Chains A and B, each alone.
Chain A
Amino acid sequence: MIHPVTATEPMRTPALQADGICKAFVSGHQRTQVLDGLTLNIDAGELTLISGPSGCGKSTLLAVLSGLQKVDSGRVQALGSELGQLDLRALERFRLQHTGFVFQGFNLFPALSAFEQVELPLNHMGLSRDEARRRARSSLEEVGLAHRMRLRPSELSGGEKQRVAIARALAKEPELLFADEPTSALDAANGQMIIDILHRIARTHGTTVLCVSHDPRLVVHADRVLAMEDGRILSDQRPHASLIDNKEIPS
Chain B
Amino acid sequence: MVALARKTLIYEWRRFLPAMLAVGFAGLLQLLQIALVLGIFGSTSLYITGSSADVWIGYPGTQSVGSGRTIDADVESHVLMDPAVQRVEPYIWIDGDWRGPTETGGVSVFVSGIDPRPDGLMFSKALAPDLRTRLAEPGAVVVDRSVLDQLGVDIGHTATINGHQVRVVGISSGLRALGGVNVLCSLDTARQLNDDPTDSGPTYLVAKLRDPTQADAVAARLRGDTAFGPYTTWSASDFASISVRYWLFDTGAGAGVLFLAGIVFLVGAVITSQTLIAAVNGSVREYATLNALGVGVGALRKVVLEQAFWVGALGLLGASALGILLMMLARSQDVPVVLNLPAALACIILVMGLAAVSGLAAMRALRRADPATLLR
Contact = CB atoms under 8 A, between A and B. Distances in A.
Interface residues of B, number: 27
B8 interface: yes
Interface stretch (A75-83, A111-119, A239-247): A111-119
Most B-side CB within 10 Å, residue of A69, A109, A112, A180: A109
B221 interface: no
B227 interface: no
A96 B295 contact: yes
A84 interface: no
Contacts of B283: 109
Contacts of A97: 294
B4 interface: yes
Given A109-B8, A110-B11, A123-B2, A168 B374 contact: no
A124 interface: yes
Nearest to A100: B293
Given A63-B375, A112-B2, A121 B7 contact: no
Interface string B338-376: 000000000000000000000000000000000110111
A62 B375 contact: yes
A119 B290 CA distance: 12
A116 B289 contact: no
B7 A92 contact: no
Nearest to A110: B11
Interface in B256-302: 283, 285-286, 288-297, 299
A152 B10 CA distance: 14
A219 to B, nearest CB: 21
Contacts of B296: 89, 92, 96, 124
Interface string B1-37: 1101001101110000000000000000000000000
Interface string A46-62: 00000000000001101
State the majority secondary structure of interface residues on B.
helix
A69 B8 contact: no
Contacts of B7: 109, 111-112, 116
A121 B294 contact: yes
Given A60-B375, A63-B375, A101 B293 contact: yes
B374 A180 contact: yes
B3 to A, nearest CB: 9
B293 A107 contact: no
Interface of A: 59-60, 62-63, 66, 68-69, 89, 92-97, 99-101, 103-105, 107-112, 116, 119-121, 123-125, 129, 152, 168-169, 172, 180
Interface of B: 1-2, 4, 7-8, 10-12, 283, 285-286, 288-297, 299, 371-372, 374-376
Given A103-B375, A107-B374, 4 more contacts: A60-B375, A93-B294, A101-B289, A120-B2
26 contacts: A62-B375, A63-B375, A68-B371, A68-B372, A92-B294, A92-B295, A95-B292, A96-B293, A101-B292, A103-B375, A104-B376, A107-B289, A109-B8, A109-B283, A110-B11, A111-B4, A111-B7, A111-B8, A112-B2, A116-B2, A119-B2, A120-B2, A120-B290, A121-B294, A123-B2, A124-B296
